[in-house]
Amino acid sequence: MSTAELDVESLGSSAGRGLRWSLLGNVVTKFGSFGMGLVLARLLAPADFGVYAVALAALNFVMHVNDVGLIAATVQWRGKLEEMAPTAATLAVAFSVAVYGVFWLAAPSVAGLAGVPQATGVLRLLTVIILIDGLTAVRSAALMRTFRQDKLIAANLAGLAVNALVAISLAARGGGPFSFAGGQVAGAVVTGVLVFVVAKIPVKVGIDPAIARKLMRYGVPLAASLGIEAILMNADYIIIGRVLHNVALLGFYLLAFNISTWALSVISSAVRYVSVAGFSRLSELDKERLSAGVQRSVPLLFTGLVPIAVLTAALAEPLVSVLYGGAWAPAAPVLRFLMILTVVRVMTSFALDILMGAGATRSTLWLNLGWAVALIPALIIGTYLDAIRGAAVAHAIVGSLVAVPVTLVALHRAGVRLAPIVPTLARPLLAGVLGGGAALLVVRLGGLPPLATLCCGGAAGLLVYIAVAVPPQQFRQWLGSIRREQAHAVD
């Protein structure tokens, strides 16, 4: 076996181990966040969610730009980590402090732009998280770079536990939207301290001009791209608040958007922990290996994503009713269209990881910029025409007709060959249509309580999906593996 083959095998083993930890951690994190959301939905009013949505939109934007792409730059750094860490850490802290100062001063203007001036204090508290992120950026990146996802996930889970405890306690005592912000800041502090300790990177301050220029050449286009991506995913909160002047409707929209991102959070976040590093290493070897890695990964990702999206969309009404109660029913029609956006976001997010790993950060900038130019006016028109459902429809249309084609062009220009993937996507796509139809039929027949409808519709849709999506040969292999495991257990 050649040295290159050994490198690829070792890389695959490390990435696979990191991915398993990432998936496990993200599933546990998502279940924890889900449980916390259920409790808060019963302690707080839709208007509280609406106020928080504005502050969250601002946080999501600054979290993407405050480190100027230094986390990704550290992950893909072609050289020794100890040589660039002091420069990267110093830059990350400096930019985070500067960005926080700007947003402290701009908080009243941002809240006023959204038509929710009461969000000012929540925004100022919530964005404290960017200071913590600046202090830990390089250390988090070092853990991802070396596939030590177990350490990172443990820190995140500890922070989630503190977040839940503080947020629920504040909500029970009448904290309103400050409950969200207080919980998240407390959790971020705990996570930050743990990451700082386990990364074991010496604390050094200094700037090497040559390293700084190299980091900025990679990071600035990426930060601009991610900033535009954050605008894409959060402009709807500002536009809805500004157009409708109804904080309760904004709260319903936030709940629907949060549900729609369950799959995105679990799949994309877990994959991103290892994909940028993995694709970066493959890109160092050659473009053919990068294409081969993409061709193996995309069909698996798509096959796992489709049933989540179609079943959530088909079962939106009973899902919202069972989990959050009838008071949150206006979120269900919005959720159906946002699930289309979820599919687009997962696939484009994966594409962005590929481009970042290949060093094509300028392509990520143009991709997100084109998406944003089309989306902003579409959101305004959609919200005027059909309130929060219109905003969701605009997201789905622009994502499908603009973001996907632009993403395919960007990948092609980066040397990734996608043609061999197309035939492998037909079966899960057909299975999704049929499985979603089966679940929707159960809902339309009616006569069952919401919980029974959710269970029966989900089971029917999933069975149809598996029957169509999984080739008979693959299904027989699975059955054979299960029988062998059972026989081994008996022996």
pLDDT tens for residues 319-378? 999 988 888 999 999 999 999 998 898 888 777 777 766 666 677 778 888 888 899 999
Is a pLDDT exceeding 60 seen at residue 482? no
Rounded CA-CA distance 95/93 in Å is 6
Tokens of 91: 């830059």
Rounded CA-CA distance 361/4 in Å is 26
User: Who has greater pLDDT, 235 or 23?
Assistant: 235
Tell me, what's the pLDDT at 485?
Answer: 53
Does some domain include residue 274?
A: yes
User: Who has greater pLDDT, 254 or 6?
Assistant: 254
Does some domain include residue 56?
A: yes
Count of domains for the chain: 1
User: Band of the pLDDT at 441, cuts 50, 70, 90?
Assistant: very high
Provide the strand spans (E) within 266-343. none
Least reliable range by pLDDT among 186-195, 456-465, 479-488: 479-488
Tell me, what's the pLDDT at 3?
Answer: 37
Tell me, what's the pLDDT at 227?
Answer: 74
Tell me, what's the pLDDT at 76?
Answer: 67
Tell me, what's the pLDDT at 253?
Answer: 93
Tell me, what's the pLDDT at 420?
Answer: 78
Helix/strand/coil percent split, the chain, to 5:
90, 0, 10
Is a pLDDT exceeding 70 seen at residue 178? yes
The residue among 233, 300, 305 whose CA lies nearest residue 263 is 305
Residue type, 9: E
Does some domain include residue 464?
A: no
Name the range with the highest mean pLDDT among 280-284, 285-289, 444-448.
444-448
Tell me, what's the pLDDT at 67?
Answer: 66
Angle between helices 269-285 and 331-357 (to 10 degrees): 20
What is the average pLDDT score of the chain?
Answer: 80
Least reliable range by pLDDT among 66-70, 157-161, 467-471: 66-70
Is a pLDDT exceeding 50 seen at residue 317? yes
Does some domain include residue 430?
A: no
Tell me, what's the pLDDT at 9?
Answer: 45
User: Who has greater pLDDT, 277 or 120?
Assistant: 120
Q: How far is CA 34 from CA 31, 40, 260, 329, 443, in A?
A: 5, 10, 12, 17, 24
The whole-number average pLDDT for the span 449-461 is 92
Least reliable range by pLDDT among 124-133, 162-171, 345-354, 379-388: 345-354
Does some domain include residue 260?
A: yes
Rounded CA-CA distance 423/421 in Å is 6
Dihedral pair phi/psi, residue 201, rounded to 5°: -105, 125
Does some domain include residue 448?
A: no
Rounded CA-CA distance 406/375 in Å is 13
Other CB atoms within a 10 A radius of the CB of residue 116 amount to 27
**What percentage of the chain exceeds 90 in pLDDT?**
28
Considering the entire predicted model, what is its pTM?
0.72
Rounded CA-CA distance 48/46 in Å is 5
Tell me, what's the pLDDT at 360?
Answer: 64
Please check whether residue 188 is in contact with residue 161, taking contact to mean a CB–CB distance below 8 angstroms. no
Residue 266: domain span? 3-417
Does some domain include residue 166?
A: yes
Please check whether residue 309 is in contact with residue 259, taking contact to mean a CB–CB distance below 8 angstroms. no
Rounded CA-CA distance 485/412 in Å is 42
Contacts of 255 (CB under 8 A, 6+ apart): 41, 46, 49, 320, 324, 328, 331
Tokens of 80: 């020794």
Please check whether residue 232 is in contact with residue 368, taking contact to mean a CB–CB distance below 8 angstroms. yes
Contacts of 48 (CB under 8 A, 6+ apart): 176, 177, 179, 251
User: Band of the pLDDT at 274, cuts 50, 70, 90?
Assistant: very low
Does some domain include residue 434?
A: no
Rounded CA-CA distance 172/452 in Å is 31
